[in-house]
Amino acid sequence: MMALPLSGIKVIDLTQVYSGPYATFLLAEAGADVIKVEPLEGEKLRRMTGAAATPYAMFNANKASVSLDLKSAEGGRGMRTLLADADVLVENFRPGVLAGLGYDDASLERINPRLIRASLSGFGSEGPYRDYAALDIVVQALVGVIATTGFPDAPPVKAGAALADILGGTHLFGAVVTALLHRERTGEARAVETSMLAATYPAMASSLGPAAMAGPDDVLRTGNHHGAGRVCPYDVYPASDGRVAIICTSDRHWQRLASLLGLHALASDAGLATMAGRIARMAEVDAAISAVTSTMSRSALFDLLARGGVPCGPVQRLQEVIRDPHLLATGALIAIDHPEHGALMVQRGAIRFAGLERPPYRPSVPLGTDNHLLAAFPAADANEGPLHDTARG
Amino acid sequence: MMALPLSGIKVIDLTQVYSGPYATFLLAEAGADVIKVEPLEGEKLRRMTGAAATPYAMFNANKASVSLDLKSAEGGRGMRTLLADADVLVENFRPGVLAGLGYDDASLERINPRLIRASLSGFGSEGPYRDYAALDIVVQALVGVIATTGFPDAPPVKAGAALADILGGTHLFGAVVTALLHRERTGEARAVETSMLAATYPAMASSLGPAAMAGPDDVLRTGNHHGAGRVCPYDVYPASDGRVAIICTSDRHWQRLASLLGLHALASDAGLATMAGRIARMAEVDAAISAVTSTMSRSALFDLLARGGVPCGPVQRLQEVIRDPHLLATGALIAIDHPEHGALMVQRGAIRFAGLERPPYRPSVPLGTDNHLLAAFPAADANEGPLHDTARG
C-alpha cells in the first residue's frame, strides 16, 4: 500500500470529548500515528454508557490508548517518553491548564525542540473570555446561531448539531497540518491554536450583512426561509411522508422546478421569472409548490428534483441518516462489529486522497491498551528531576 | 516579518459562494498567494448587492482577482499561464464540470505535474448523489440537522448557520495543506477531495447514538435541551433582557451554579447532587434557575457564571456578535473601511501561529484587478493547440 500523507507522524493526543478528538481522528485517517492519553479513569466521553458511548467510538478509532496520571511522577515520566520523539502534542484544555501541569512551552521545548504544540479552546489564549469554559451551546449562543435559528413567532432554539465543536476540531486539524508543513519547509516547530468561537463565526455569513445594516428590531429568525429573505423558493416543504428542503438560487432552478412539478402556469408567468418577482410573491409560490409536494413521497421528490437539477434534499431522521445509501456506497459510513459496543455505524474521514486507500479501520480500544508504550522510558535524568515536582493542576 | 507557513505557495482559486472561498481564505491567511479566477460577469456571490455583499467581502480578502472566460481560447491561455507555476488548483464545481471545461486530470498534469488539485462538492466524486446539486440547506436536510433542530411540538427547522458550507470549506483547507505536506515529503502531487455531506456528519454525534438504538417514534427535537436528554441543567434560560445558555456537564458545575444563583436549598439537596438525580427532576431544576435568571441581565449572568466556572453564554443578536468584545480584543474581528462597501466588520483567519503576525489585511478587490497576471503567458505552443478546442462546458 502507498504511504498515506501523514505516515510516520507521531501525535500525542491529550484531547477530550468531541472537538479535539475529531481533529486527531482526521490526523489518524490521514495516516498519522495517534496515541491518545487519558487520565486513569478515562476521559469524560469514554465514561458515557449505552447509546452515549457511540461518539467516543466514532471519534477515537485508529488511535492507540494510554492511561496515566499527569500529576504523578510516574505519569510525568510516561509523558516525557511519549513526547521525546513525537511530532505533535494536541490538547483542548482551557488556556493555562497544560502549563499548570508542568508542560509550559519552555519545558516542552526542552523535552523535544521539534515538537509542535496545537491547542483548541472555546475562546483562545487571549482576550476577556479566555478563562471561561465553553461548550458547544455556549458558543452557539454567543456567535448568533441560537438567535438566528427557529421560527419568527417562537423562541430561539439551538442547532441540533454540535457545529462549534466540529468546526473547532476541523480548524485544529488544518492548523496541525499547516504547522507540520511549516516545520518541513523551515525546520521551525511553531505552536498553533484556534478557538471554537472564531471557528464558528464564518458560518453566520448569510445573516451578518443584514444584521450589520438593520435596526435593533430586525427579524433574526426566518424559520426555513432564507436568512436574509433573498431567495425564493427556499423552504422545507411538506411531502406525503415527511418533508423535503428545496432551494432555487437561479432562475433556471425555478424553471426546472415549476416544470417538473407540473406548475406550468407558474413556469410561464413572466412575473415569476426573476428572483425579485418570486420573492414578492413568496407565499403564493410556496403554497403552489406545497400543494404538489404534499402528494408525493420524499424519495419520489428527491429522485425527480435532484436528478432534474433542482437542489433538493429529504429531511432525514437520524435512523435514515445512518442508513443513507450515498454515505454507505462511498464508504463514508461503515458498519462494524465493535469489540466493546457491538454493531455500530461509524464514519471514515471526510477527506480522500486520490490513489490512496483509507487506512485499515481499527475500532476504538479499551483504556490503556497500549500502556506498554510508556514502559520504554529511559532512566530518569537525576539532574533534571521529574517534570511534576511543581505541578499545580 | 517572519515568513508565514504557506508563503510562496501559489493557489489558483476557481471556487464560488461560501464553502470553497472560505477554504482559500484560510490558505491566504496562512500566507498563500491566492489568485481568484471568476467568470467575466463575476461569481454568483460577487453579484449580490446591498447587505448581501458582505459575505463576498468576508471570504475573499487577501486574494488577487482575475476574470476570464474558461470556455474561450483566450481564457484557456490565461488559465494555462496561471497554472504553469501554481502549487494548487482549488474548485467547488460539481464533479465532472472542470473536466468538461477541458481540465481533466491528464490535461492538468501535462500543464504542471507538480499541481495539486483540490475539490469540494456536495457529495464527492462517487456514489449515487454525486451529480446532485447541493446547497447548505440540502445537506442540513439529508444529514439530520433539520430533523434534530427545533421544539418537539413544532416543525423541524434549519440551523441559522451555514454549517455545511463552512464545515466543507474547513475540511477542504485541511485537505489542501495535507496534500502540500505530502508533496513536500514525497514529491508526489496528489489530488484531494471532500464533500459537504461527509464533512457535516460528525456534527450529529450527540444524536447518532440514541437514534441508532431507539425505535422509529423517538423524539428527534429537544428544543434547547440536550439532544439525548442526558445533561441537566442544559437549556436557554430567560434573562431580564433576553436569554442565556447555561450547561452543567459535571456535578461541580451544578454546585457552583446553584450557589452563585443563591439556590442554597437546591445546592444542598442530596437528590440533585448527581446528574441522574437532576435529570429526573429537570422541570423543577429549570424552573428554579429561571426564577432567578429572569431577574438579571444577560451580561450580569455571563459575568457571574462564566467567571464562576459555569459554562454560560448570552444569546447574542448578530448586531451584538459583530461588536463582541472578545472577538474585537483578539483581532478575530476587525473594522475596516472597504473601498467598495464602506464600513464593514470582517473576520481574520481563526488559526494563529505562535510568533507570527497575521498577514496585512487587503480587502476584497474589484473583479479583474489583477488581470495583468494573465498577460504574462508565453507564446502559444502550436503543437499543443489551445486547451479549449474541445471544451464541452
Residue A287 sits in which domain range?
250-310
A273 and A341 both lie in a single domain: no
Q: Chain A partners of B162 at a C-beta cutoff of 8 Å?
A: 203-206
Query: How far is A342 from A365, CA to CA, in rounded Å?
Result: 13
Average pLDDT over residues A94-107: 94
- Look at residue B281 in the predicted model and tell me its pLDDT: 97
Residues A275-284: pLDDT tens digits? 999 999 999 9
**Residue A359 is assigned to a structural domain of this protein:** yes
Grid look-up 450557589 returns B259
Domain boundary among B315, B342, B365: B315
**Residues ≥6 apart with Cβ < 8 Å to B125:** B95, B119, B193
Q: Is A49 on the interface with B (CB under 8 A)?
A: no
Which element (helix H / strand E) includes B251?
Answer: helix B251-260
- Look at residue B230 in the predicted model and tell me its pLDDT: 84
User: Predicted confidence band at A387 (pLDDT cuts at 50, 70, 90)?
Assistant: very low
Which of A171, A208, A328 would best serve as a mutation to test chain B binding (most B beta carbons within 10 A)?
A208
Q: Inter-chain contact A212–B59, Cβ cutoff 8 Å? A: no
**Looking at this protein, which amino acid is placed at residue A143?**
V
**Looking at this protein, which amino acid is placed at residue B84?**
A
Q: What are the residue ranges of helices labelled H in B295-361?
A: 298-307, 318-321, 325-329
Q: Chain A partners of B336 at a C-beta cutoff of 8 Å?
A: none
Beta strands at B192-195 and A351-353: parallel, antiparallel or unpaired: antiparallel
Residue B313: which region, alpha, beta or left (left: phi > 0; alpha: psi -120 to 50)? beta
Q: Inter-chain contact B306–A58, Cβ cutoff 8 Å? A: no
% of chain A residues with pLDDT over 90 = 85
Residues B6-55: pLDDT tens digits? 999 999 999 999 999 999 999 999 999 999 999 999 999 999 887 788 89
For the stretch B78-99, what's the b/e string if a residue is b when 16 or more beta carbons lie within 10 angstroms of its beta carbon?
bbbbbbeebbbbbbbbbbebbb
Query: How far is A332 from B195, CA to CA, in rounded Å?
Result: 10
For the stretch B116-151, what's the b/e string if a residue is b when 16 or more beta carbons lie within 10 angstroms of its beta carbon?
bbbbbbbbbbbbebbbbbbbbbbbbbbbbbbbbbbb
Query: How far is B359 from B36, CA to CA, in rounded Å?
Result: 18
B269 flagged as catalytic: no
Q: Inter-chain contact A193–B351, Cβ cutoff 8 Å? A: yes
Listed in order, strand segments (DSSP E) in chain A are 10-13, 33-38, 63-67, 88-91, 116-121, 192-195, 234-239, 242-247, 312-314, 333-338, 342-347, 351-353
DSSP state of B156: -
Query: How far is B364 from B368, CA to CA, in rounded Å?
Result: 11
**Residue A232 is assigned to a structural domain of this protein:** no
B342 and B272 both lie in a single domain: no
B342 and B307 both lie in a single domain: no
The CATH number of whichever domain residue B283 belongs to comes to: 3.30.1540.10
Average pLDDT of chain A to the nearest whole number: 92
More confident residue, B227 or A265: A265
**Residues ≥6 apart with Cβ < 8 Å to A385:** none
Which of A59, A97, A136, A157 would best serve as a mutation to test chain B binding (most B beta carbons within 10 A)?
A157
Which of A197, A329, A355 shows the shortest C-beta gap to B128? Answer: A329
A306 and A340 both lie in a single domain: no
pTM (predicted TM-score)? 0.94
Q: Inter-chain contact B51–A212, Cβ cutoff 8 Å? A: yes
Which of A4, A43, A126, A163 would best serve as a mutation to test chain B binding (most B beta carbons within 10 A)?
A163
Which of A131, A162, A177 shows the shortest C-beta gap to B205? Answer: A162
CB atoms within 10 A of CB A243: 24
- On whether the CB atoms of residues A209 and A228 are closer than 8 A, the answer is yes
Q: Considering only A33-47, A206-220, B70-84, B240-254, which range has the smallest mean pLDDT?
A: A206-220
Average pLDDT over residues A166-185: 98
**Looking at this protein, which amino acid is placed at residue A31?**
G
**Residue A108 is assigned to a structural domain of this protein:** yes
- Closest among B22, B231, B247 to A140, alpha carbons compared: B247
Q: Inter-chain contact A318–B147, Cβ cutoff 8 Å? A: yes
User: Predicted confidence band at B108 (pLDDT cuts at 50, 70, 90)?
Assistant: very high
The CATH number of whichever domain residue A189 belongs to comes to: 3.40.50.10540
Q: B368 in helix, strand or coil?
A: coil
Question: CA torsion angle for B370, B373, B374, B378 (degrees, to 10)?
Answer: 170
- Look at residue B39 in the predicted model and tell me its pLDDT: 98
Which of A181, A200, A249 shows the shortest C-beta gap to B180? Answer: A181
- On whether the CB atoms of residues B203 and A160 are closer than 8 A, the answer is no
Q: Chain B partners of A166 at a C-beta cutoff of 8 Å?
A: 167, 202-203, 205
Does residue B216 carry a pLDDT above 90? no
Domain boundary among B282, B315, B348: B315
Average pLDDT of chain B to the nearest whole number: 92
C-alpha gyration radius of chain B: 25
CB atoms within 10 A of CB B50: 12
B191 and B248 both lie in a single domain: no
Q: State the Cα angle at A141 between B242 and B346, rounded to 5°.
A: 110
A17 and A162 both lie in a single domain: yes
Query: How far is B386 from B393, CA to CA, in rounded Å?
Result: 15
Q: How far is B383 from chain A (nearest CA, A)?
A: 30
Residues B139-153: pLDDT tens digits? 999 999 999 999 999
Which of B6, B146, B345 shows the shortest C-beta gap to A212? Answer: B345
DSSP letters for B187-233? S----EEEEHHHHHGGGGHHHHHHHHHS-TT-----TTS-TTS--SS
B174 and B304 both lie in a single domain: no
Q: Inter-chain contact A174–B351, Cβ cutoff 8 Å? A: yes
Q: Chain A partners of B144 at a C-beta cutoff of 8 Å?
A: 160-161, 316-318, 320-321
Residues A255-268: pLDDT tens digits? 999 999 999 999 99
Which of A54, A131, A330 shows the shortest C-beta gap to B208? Answer: A54
A30 and A131 both lie in a single domain: yes
**Residue A102 is assigned to a structural domain of this protein:** yes
- Give the strands of the sheet with B234-239, arranged side by side: B234-239, B242-247, B312-314
**Looking at this protein, which amino acid is placed at residue A17?**
V
Listed in order, strand segments (DSSP E) in A248-388 are 312-314, 333-338, 342-347, 351-353
Residues 69-98 of B with CB under 8 A from A: none
Q: Inter-chain contact A195–B313, Cβ cutoff 8 Å? A: no
Q: B247 in helix, strand or coil?
A: strand
Query: How far is B272 from A385, CA to CA, in rounded Å?
Result: 44
Its ipTM equals: 0.94
Does residue B64 carry a pLDDT above 60? yes
Q: Inter-chain contact A201–B347, Cβ cutoff 8 Å? A: yes
B108 and B169 both lie in a single domain: yes
Q: How far is A389 from chain B (nearest CA, A)?
A: 27
A379 CA to centre of own chain: 41
Backbone φ and ψ for B347, nearest 5 degrees, come out as -100, 150
Does residue B381 carry a pLDDT above 70? no
The catalytically annotated residue of A13, A87, A165, A286 is A165
Q: Is B238 on the interface with A (CB under 8 A)?
A: no
Q: Measuring CA to CA, how many Å separate A105 from each of A93, A101, A187? A: 15, 12, 17
What total of structural domains would you count in chain A?
A: 2
Taken in order B267, B268, B269, B274, is the CA torsion positive or negative? positive
Domain boundary among B287, B315, B343: B315
**Residue A208 is assigned to a structural domain of this protein:** no
- Closest among A322, A380, A184 to B213, alpha carbons compared: A322
Helix and strand numbers (H, E) in chain A are 16, 12
A332 and A306 both lie in a single domain: no
**Looking at this protein, which amino acid is placed at residue B249?**
T
A26 and A175 both lie in a single domain: yes
**Residue B181 is assigned to a structural domain of this protein:** yes
C-alpha gyration radius of chain A: 25
Average pLDDT over residues A342-354: 94
Does residue A168 carry a pLDDT above 80? yes
**Residue A243 is assigned to a structural domain of this protein:** no
- Look at residue A32 in the predicted model and tell me its pLDDT: 98
A134 and A23 both lie in a single domain: yes
The catalytically annotated residue of B13, B87, B165, B286 is B165
User: Predicted confidence band at A218 (pLDDT cuts at 50, 70, 90)?
Assistant: low
**Residue B327 is assigned to a structural domain of this protein:** no
Three cell numbers written together for A218: 430586525
- On whether the CB atoms of residues A122 and A132 are closer than 8 A, the answer is yes
